[in-house]
Amino acid sequence: MIDAQGLDALIAALASDGREVFGPVRREGAVVYEEISSSDDLPKGWADEQSGGHYRLRQEGDAFFGATLGPQGWKRLLHPPKQVLWRTEGAGEETKIIPEPLDTTRRAFIGARACDLAAIAAQDKVLTEGPYRDPQYAARRANLFIVAVNCTRSAETCFCTSMNTGPKATKGYDIALTELEGGRFLAEAASEAGAAQLAALPSRPATADDEGAAAAGIDRARDQQRRIDTDGLPALLKDRPDHPRWSEVAQRCLNCANCTMVCPTCFCTTVDEVTSLEGPETERVNRWASCFTVDFSHVHGGAVRPGAKSRYRQWMTHKLATWVDQFGEMGCVGCGRCISWCPVGIDITEEAAAIRKGGG
Amino acid sequence: MHAPDPHTDPMLPVIARITRRTRELSDVVTFEMEVEGWPGFEPGQFNMLAVFGVGEIPISISGPVSDSSKIIHTIRDVGPVSRALAALEPGAVLGLRGPYGAPWPVKAARGRDVVVVAGGLGLAPVRPILYELMENRDAYGKITLLYGARSPSEILFREELGAWRSRLDMGVEVTVDRAPEDWHGHVGVVTALLRAADFAPANTTAFVCGPEIMIRFAANGLTDLGVAATDIHLSMERNMQCGIGLCGHCQLGPYFLCKDGPVFDWATMKPLMRIKEL
């Protein structure tokens, strides 16, 4: 068991180990992940209220990690919205290609939830485990230390239980914390680096009561969730491309791409060519892309998916069906961000249920 | 100049130099390039070609597999990058990554009849197949090439088509959609030529490349004649930003066209191509 001093000692130790330490911070009415220097930076005493198209923070209790997920996952730090791939210098036959140096920054994440750990694992598969890998992502991952926080309350939009990703972290972290009343944490290490850090912190052994309280908190979070029935869902979605619900949801969907931006597993990128106004130098830049845009599928002659129906169907079918073919598991971790941050409150669990109902 | 190491940075191109450029049609050029340490390619594979300051696109390789001293691409200027590519002159440099993608299974067709059906610029990605067939003519059964272009002035590789046609060991038929009065060849869709072609369907491997609508008609026509769906191979096209399975643009159902394709068999593609806007 550690307390707030222990947490501060952990943050300080990770920083003195040469790491940039990131954790949840309250900014402009939302919790985002930014650099922190102590537990004072955490959104203590704040909780979130989420539903379709709705996110608010309110003061509640005195927990450090009472607010669950904000809009941005850790994706922004590992697979950033903009990444220079390479540059050129010189013109014509003298053109030289200059590789972009690897991002070898050592980082620590404090407060990663189980669903987000699953999302990081999903992006690991896409970006590092195929025939080719993204070297920048791989470098950032190799230098990452993760302190997970087990959820003891869920947002109304959470469905990690259905996706088997949470609310308790089971893998992909160095240390996991479960916050108990009074700013105390049950701390468990899952790696050598985690165990070494933990051993150096001021702590006391956990009692059976502490462990019982932690388990009860996690059970409570589990019970607070919405559900999605994943049984047979991949085959069902692939078999019903003409289900009337796809047209119906397309009437509501604004094609704004918010869901793909907040989704912690969405990995698609577009390459842009940026030219200098002053000389022949050019830059190739990878930036987040969204399958909700028309130009995402553009080939000469036009877009493959000009209709809103086909674009929503592509996104949801990829998350819940074809991702399984590609990577052996679903591409949805049940974080619910796409529900909260959809301006019109489209709910992936509701859409999946509607398509299951038949009619197509 | 060095060969890219896919394990360090697969998005990093090498510099390629254009050594020769041939105008094929008013909007189509073929150029040859040299790249030090080029590993060679398999028929049906593509390279990502970058014009610095403009962009990068996938272009299939249209030269012979047997000569790895040069890389040959045939390009139609249909977009900003292809237009910039087509405008490059000998001596110009560009960025090259590749080769990528699953190849046409040409050698697996040895001992069998081969039918190649191409439409428009789709003749370029199948040309490496034709070179392989002719370089190893005895290894294959009857060979048929059916080619369709929009009009006589848009017939690609006209001289080569003539040379192939004059051979007595392969059947070559060319058709156009629209013809002026001085055209005395076939008029109509390329799939109409299938019925007259000489091959034993049960022992035939087909390679189909062209617009999707042509692929569908050709594959259905071949199936109707008795060619197995698993023996019909076709090349698909989608937006590609990376060519290596990371950018997500080229997905078609469960497949990433860049790494699972672009060559697939008809048994795999038929159920997906039936779905509108997939």
Mean pLDDT by 10 residues, chain B (278 residues): 57 95 97 91 97 95 92 95 95 95 97 98 98 97 97 96 95 95 94 93 98 96 97 96 96 97 97 94
Q: Which of A242, A270, A297 sits opposite B247 (nearest CB)?
A: A270
- Are A217 and A318 in a shared domain? no
For residue B3, the model assigns a pLDDT of 44
Question: What is the Rg, in whole angstroms, of the alpha carbon atoms belonging to chain B?
Answer: 18
Tell me if B249 and A268 make a contact (CB, 8 A cut-off): yes
pLDDT tens digits, one per residue of A184-241:
999 999 999 999 999 999 999 999 999 999 999 999 999 989 999 999 999 999 999 9
For residue A189, the model assigns a pLDDT of 97
pTM of the model: 0.95
Distance from CA of B5 to the nearest CA of A (A): 10
Domain that holds residue A306: 233-356
Q: Which of A96, A99, A269 sits opposite B9 (nearest CB)?
A: A99
Distance from CA of A63 to the nearest CA of B (A): 39
Q: Which of A97, A126, A304 sits opposite B238 (nearest CB)?
A: A304
Gap between the Cα atoms of B157 and B160, Å rounded: 5
- Are A252 and A144 in a shared domain? no
Distance from CA of A175 to the nearest CA of B (A): 30
Q: Which of B7, B50, B237 sits opposite A299 (nearest CB)?
A: B237
Tell me if A99 and B13 make a contact (CB, 8 A cut-off): no
For residue A138, the model assigns a pLDDT of 96
B277 Cβ under 8 Å from any chain A Cβ: yes
Tell me if B277 and A309 make a contact (CB, 8 A cut-off): yes
How many independent structural domains does chain A possess? 2
In a domain, A271, yes or no: yes
- Are A172 and A114 in a shared domain? yes
Please give the interface size between A and B, counted as residue pairs whose CB atoms are below 8 Å apart: 127
Report CA torsion sign: A277, A76, A123, B235.
negative
Tokens matching residue B103: 């190849």
pLDDT tens digits, one per residue of A107-159:
999 999 999 999 999 999 999 999 999 999 999 999 999 999 999 999 999 99
Q: Which of A134, A241, A326 sits opposite B246 (nearest CB)?
A: A134
- Are A219 and A301 in a shared domain? no
Taking all residues of chain A, what is their mean pLDDT, rounded to a whole number?
96
Q: Which residues of A touch B8 (CB under 8 A)?
A: 135
Domains of chain B: 14-100 (2.40.30.10), 107-273 (3.40.50.80)
Q: Measured in whole angstroms, how far is the alpha carbon of residue A16 from the centre of its chain?
A: 27
Q: Give this complex's ipTM.
A: 0.94
Domain boundary, last residue among A200, A223, A246 = A223
Gap between the Cα atoms of A74 and A150, Å rounded: 16
pLDDT tens digits, one per residue of A73-113:
999 999 999 999 999 999 888 899 999 999 999 999 999 99
Q: Which residues of A touch B247 (CB under 8 A)?
A: 268-271, 286, 289
- Are A147 and A47 in a shared domain? yes
B 183-242 → A contacts, CB under 8 A: 237-239, 241-242
In a domain, A32, yes or no: yes
What percent of chain A has pLDDT above 70? 99
- Are A193 and A272 in a shared domain? no
Tell me if B8 and A299 make a contact (CB, 8 A cut-off): no
In a domain, A36, yes or no: yes
Give the HSE-up count for residue A90: Cα atoms under 13 Å, Cβ half-sphere. Answer: 10
Residue located via tokens 């594979």: B45
Find, in chain B, the residue whose alpha carbon is nearest to that of A316.
Answer: B253
Tell me if A133 and B7 make a contact (CB, 8 A cut-off): yes
For residue A359, the model assigns a pLDDT of 62
pLDDT tens digits, one per residue of B5-60:
544 789 999 999 999 999 999 999 999 999 988 899 999 999 999 999 999 999 99
Pick from B272, B277, B278 the residue to mutate for testing the A interface (most A CBs within 10 Å): B277
In a domain, A117, yes or no: yes
Amino acid at A347: D
- Are A139 and A253 in a shared domain? no
- Are A324 and A211 in a shared domain? no
Distance from CA of B219 to the nearest CA of A (A): 20
Could you tell me the CA-to-CA distances from A262 to A69, A338, A339, A340 in Å, in that order? 11, 6, 10, 10
Q: What is the DSSP letter of B102?
A: B
Domain boundary, last residue among A205, A223, A241 = A223
Angle between helices B266-273 and B212-225 (to 10 degrees): 120
Tell me if A95 and B13 make a contact (CB, 8 A cut-off): no
∠ CA A312-A315-A317, nearest 5°, is 100
Tell me if A95 and B52 make a contact (CB, 8 A cut-off): yes
Going through chain A in order, the beta strands assigned E by DSSP cover 20-27, 30-35, 46-51, 54-59, 82-89, 96-99, 107-112, 144-150, 175-180, 184-189, 269-275, 282-288, 298-299, 302-303
For residue B6, the model assigns a pLDDT of 46
What percent of chain A has pLDDT above 90? 95
Tell me if B249 and A273 make a contact (CB, 8 A cut-off): no
Pick from B57, B93, B244, B273 the residue to mutate for testing the A interface (most A CBs within 10 Å): B93
Q: Which residues of A touch B59 (CB under 8 A)?
A: none
SS3 state of residue A213: helix
- Are A142 and A270 in a shared domain? no
- Are A199 and A276 in a shared domain? no
Find, in chain B, the residue whose alpha carbon is nearest to that of A292.
Answer: B249
B74 in Cβ contact with B209 (< 8 Å)? no
pLDDT tens digits, one per residue of A255-303:
999 999 999 999 999 999 999 888 889 999 999 999 999 999 999 889 9
- Are A155 and A264 in a shared domain? no
In a domain, A228, yes or no: no
In a domain, A185, yes or no: yes
B208 in Cβ contact with B219 (< 8 Å)? yes
Pick from B251, B252, B259, B276 the residue to mutate for testing the A interface (most A CBs within 10 Å): B251
- Which helix (H) or strand (E) covers residue B25, if one does? strand B14-25
Q: Which one, of B152, B224, B187, lies nearest residue B216 by Cα? A: B224
Tokens matching residue A320: 């819940």
Give the HSE-up count for residue A82: Cα atoms under 13 Å, Cβ half-sphere. Answer: 6
B83 Cβ under 8 Å from any chain A Cβ: no
Domain boundary, last residue among A170, A202, A223 = A223
SS3 state of residue A163: coil
Pick from B57, B96, B215, B242 the residue to mutate for testing the A interface (most A CBs within 10 Å): B242
- Are A183 and A238 in a shared domain? no
Tell me if A130 and B245 make a contact (CB, 8 A cut-off): yes
- Which helix (H) or strand (E) covers residue B191, if one does? none
For residue B2, the model assigns a pLDDT of 41
Find, in chain B, the residue whose alpha carbon is nearest to that of A295.
Answer: B239
Burial of A333 (0-12, 13-18, 19+ CB in 10 A): buried
